[in-house]
Amino acid sequence: MKKRLVVLLAGLLTVLSLGFGLAQFSDVPAGHWAKEAVEALAAKGLLLGFPDGTFRGNENLTRYQAALIIYRLLQQIEEELKAKGTSPTMQALSPEDLEALKNAVQELAAELAALGVRVSALEDSAATKEDIARLESLIEELKAKPAEPGMDQAALQDLMDRVEAASIAADTALAQAQQLAEQLQALSEDVQGVKGDVAALSTQVEANAQAIQALNELAVLLNQDVLSLQDRVTALEKGLADLQGVNFGEFATKEDVAAVQEFAAALRSDLVSLSEKVSKLESQVADLSKVQYSIKGSLSVTYGTTTSTGLAFDVDRLFPGNAFSTGAFGNASSPVQKADIIAGRNLSYGGASLTFGVKNNAPAAQGVAVSEASATLNVDAFTGALSNVPPIYFDAASVKGSVDGQPFSVAYSRSNSAFKFNDYLFANDNDPEPANPRQGMVATFSATKFPLSPNVTVVAGVAAAGADGSPALNGNYFGIRTAFKPFSALNLALNYATNLGNRSAIGVDGGLELGPLSLSALWVCSQTPGSPVANCFNNALSDWAYYVQGETKLGPVSLSANYHAVDPQYADGQAGMSENEDTNYYGLLKAGAPYGADTRGLGISASVGFGPLSLKGYAESETTYGGGPGTYESALGAALTLGSFRGFSLTGFYNRYYNNGNGYFDLSNPANAGGSYNNVYYYLPVDENHENQNYSSSFGVRVAHDGAAQDALVPTLNLTAQYVSFYIPGYTDIQVYANLAKPFKLALLSLSPGFRYHSFTGPAAPTGDYTTLKAGVQVSTDPILFGLSLDSAVSYRKTDYVGNSTAGGGVNTPTTTYELYYRFGIKISDFLAPKVNVSAAYAHYEGDKLVVGGLPTVGSGNQAFNFARDRVYRSPDPILGPWAATPGTQSGLVEGFYLQADYYNLSVAYGEFVLTDLARTPANTSYGRGFKISYTVKF
């Protein structure tokens, strides 16, 4: 069939070289050399001729005619291939057919090129449509003229008819020529495709030839291997034939054979014994791998001292986290309590720590099984004084395991035993720097195989008074808590706790989940020693704390409500024996209970979201624990937030505070500014409880930009602008503050700037109007040269008090207070040797007319780069409210330089410090110095 394609292509070439004629071929002579070819193509329907029965073999071939013939030919070829079920890719052509096809394609391409030249010449020689149009125009002009004598009108009409016929013929010829050109272009592309198929076929044929050659070579190698194998078989057969006559008795006797057999039997026995020993050893190794032992520890030694020529003072403000720091900032009323630089302070210490651990990876399922245990042993080799018998003590120990598959744990702590029964009883788990150490044990057991699956917690120990004069726990204590889960949605717990000689308490708490509704409740009764248990059921004879809380979420709506009552004896965690609530220590707020002491009331809150809109609202009413009708203070408010767009949000809020039915806050008593149930009104920073000036009588608007938002207009920029107007005329509050969420990189520099503006207007307030401006920046560099990098910071705050009339009738004069802090330092990594890091810095802090009199010996929290707060370290906040801000008389400065070098766990620190007044009066100047070297080895 492939040869058929070659024949058809060859016939087409012959016809293209002749011309065209009618199928009757009346003008083709009988002896013409192409008569047979013309008739064959006509018989196959490729040539139909002209209507007058002529072939016209000597005329030029138009493109339309050539396209028609080629189209008919291709149709016949495709039909024949389909009838044979053969693909037209020509992959199976024989080499002879392939060569003939290549020649035919090349000839066809040449003829098509020649045909294109002929058609182009024909188009060039033919009258164009423009020529005919001009001729028609001339004829029309001739007709319009008056007939001249002798003009033949019939001849003129005949000429017009002939021109029109020529125009039609020209249009037809031009259209046919354009169509033929398009078809010739398509045919030319088909020819190129055929050329590609031929080339691919040639490559395949060559590849097949190479594969056949490789198979032939492999066959030769296999044949050689077979011949070699036959030679080896022949040699083996010959060797066996030679052994036929050998007498093997000449080589070994029967005794020798028996000895060999006996040795083999003994060897087999030894192998069996060895195999049993190996199996036993593997079993022992498997048993040992079930239990993993660990040991780690440390050795440390420190020598250090501080000196002071006058007052003790802290240097945390200058160099946070320095080697001489005693921890948090101190209390102004007890400046020595947390001071760092003290005359004769001994920092020397030597000690060791060793922790043993064991872990059982496959504890027994029955009986008592320990899964893991650890114990830490400490030794105080010296603490600055000679001790012939250094104290050795367990610092911590723990055991975890199961009893018949029921988990239990026991933990011991020498100084920070942590546990919590509920919000108002034995809440002692959130005291990271305990003022009152607790030494004791906490044991838990989950009795999953008992009815109701109780979870039991037992605590016992002893607490010391520590530095705080009124600890919530002091002396021996004991408690037990049993939690039940009657069904999946309900949990209940019974509690008993006692601090011997001080307090005892019982309580119950629990929760219930009903679909989207979540309920929780608590009741605690606390009483002093000697009180009968029956008194616990009378709130007049015992101290109660209780609440009921509910939350639900219905689609976009969230609701919460509560009713609560807390006896005043629960202040500072006393009645509940809870150090978490001990707010006296450092004068800071550490309370974690949801409602304050000496309160009784209820509250509701709600929120709903509609796309970018969210609405929040609250309403609360509260009085003292024993207050009656007419003593309630109430607050309500709402806030509508639109956001976020390019990181921006817009919030409008409204609040109303009622004091005994009056809608105002009493500025003469700032403690009432936010309601007695708030007790202390922390004006800033705003948090979830005070975020929209809650519990005041005010309304306002806030615009904020979140630099962490994905579509933030200015990435990393946090910006807040807020305006608040209070109900008493003239009382307004404006705040604008901004900072970067992460440092801004500028070449080698990293910058963290920020600023704050705060203006409070209160014509009848105790101190009148005031305005605070605060700005600061922290700057550091990448390593510049030899591991050297720079670090610096500066923060400045100025507050201007206008000096309006006070409630008492006095007049304050205008006053300006300020704080200034700055630091410059360098750091060198790998100084002189790898892992040797050295840092040196100078820092300065000063302030004038701060809240407490005297020199600024102790700070009260680092707010230098918190731009939501007015202060740097001291006044004018924390305050009860902006209306209570008052300039003080404290004035002075602290400055010094600090040097520290570290090499792995070796650390050396040295510093020189000064505390003085702003005039640097020698009589008011204290010089301090500190040195400390410590080394710790961990293993």
Q: What angle do CA 542, 590, 331 make, to 5 degrees?
A: 115
pLDDT of 511 reads 96
CA distance 524 to 506: 6
CA distance 666 to 634: 14
Percent pLDDT > 90 in the chain is: 37
Least confident of 621-630, 679-688, 781-790, 816-825: 679-688
Q: Which residue has the tokens 């510093």?
A: 911
Burial of 85 (0-12, 13-18, 19+ CB in 10 A): exposed
Contact 312, 342 (CB under 8 A): yes
pLDDT of 174 reads 52
Tokens for 450, please give them. 């008992």
Q: Render pLDDT for 816-865 as a digit per residue (tens, 0 to 9).
A: 999 999 999 999 998 888 999 999 999 999 999 887 778 988 887 788 99
Burial of 341 (0-12, 13-18, 19+ CB in 10 A): buried
CA distance 137 to 147: 17
DSSP state of 680: S
For residue 27, what pLDDT band results from cuts at 50, 70 and 90?
A: confident
CA distance 838 to 774: 32
Instruction: Name the most confidently modeled range: 97-111, 310-324, 912-926.
Output: 912-926
Name the nearest CA neighbour of 889 among 930, 855, 844, 923.
855
Contact 355, 374 (CB under 8 A): yes
Q: Look over the chain and give the mean of its residue pLDDT values, rounded to a whole number.
A: 77
For residue 334, what pLDDT band results from cuts at 50, 70 and 90?
A: very low
pLDDT of 91 reads 47
Q: Render pLDDT for 431-465 as a digit per residue (tens, 0 to 9).
A: 765 667 899 999 999 999 999 899 999 999 999 87
CA distance 752 to 743: 5
> What's the number of CA atoms in the CB half-sphere (13 Å) around residue 778?
10
The structure's pTM equals 0.65
DSSP state of 918: T
pLDDT of 245 reads 59
β-sheet bridge partners, residue 559:
552, 606
Q: How many other β-carbons are positioned within 10 Å of the β-carbon of residue 747?
A: 7
pLDDT at 587 over 50: no
Contact 935, 301 (CB under 8 A): yes
CA distance 86 to 782: 75
CA distance 896 to 929: 9
What DSSP string runs through 596-609?
-SSEEEEEEEEEEE
Which residues have a Cβ under 8 Å from the Cβ of 328 and sit 6 or more positions away?
338, 433, 586, 588
Which residues have a Cβ under 8 Å from the Cβ of 325 and sit 6 or more positions away?
314, 315, 316, 340
Name the nearest CA neighbour of 24 among 59, 54, 58.
54
Question: Can you state the angle between helices 2-16 and 35-43, rounded to 10 degrees?
Answer: 120
Name the nearest CA neighbour of 819 among 780, 759, 790, 861.
861
Instruction: Name the most confidently modeled range: 41-45, 152-156, 163-167, 664-668.
Output: 41-45
CA distance 166 to 258: 126
Answer positive or negative: Cα dihedral of 304, 310, 311, 315: negative
Tokens for 404, please give them. 């018949």
Helix (H) or strand (E) holding 910: strand 906-916
